[in-house]
Amino acid sequence: LCVPFPLSSPPWDAGTGSQDLDSITFFSFSLIEGYISIVMDAETQKRFPSDLLLTSSTGELWRMVRIGGQPLGFDECGIVAQIAEPLAAADISAYYISTFNFDHALV
């Protein structure tokens, strides 16, 4: 599989210290015990042949929410619980991904 990298994201706005979150490119690859999970934004998915990926049969799309306006430190705790508990109470599925710089919740 040749993954069409590099991916690019909108640049940081020095004035606000943030990015346009609606146009961020996202690609996450996980290999655990022989199982592969790939999470990506819809535009990146279009780069793959349509018959290559197994996707949701319902066409379900998730919305990504960046957690925090700046990278979270290792001393932060309870953040996932603060997000997951109200979503679970409302019967809303959530998928949480942590990266070196940011955490993301997909709902």
What strands lie across the sheet with 64-67, from one edge to the other? 64-67, 103-106, 95-98
At 19 the pLDDT is 54
For 2-6, 24-28, 56-60, 68-72, which range has the lowest pLDDT when averaged over its residues?
2-6
The DSSP-derived string for the chain is: ----PPP--PPPBTTTTB--GGG---EEEEEETTEEEEEE-HHHHTTS-TTTS---TT-----EEEESSSPPPTT--SHHHHHHHHHHHTT---EEEE-SS-EEEE-
At 89, the pLDDT band (50, 70, 90 cuts) reads very high
Higher-pLDDT residue of 90, 102:
90
Res. 21: pLDDT tops 60: no
Res. 90: pLDDT tops 90: yes
Res. 22: pLDDT tops 50: yes
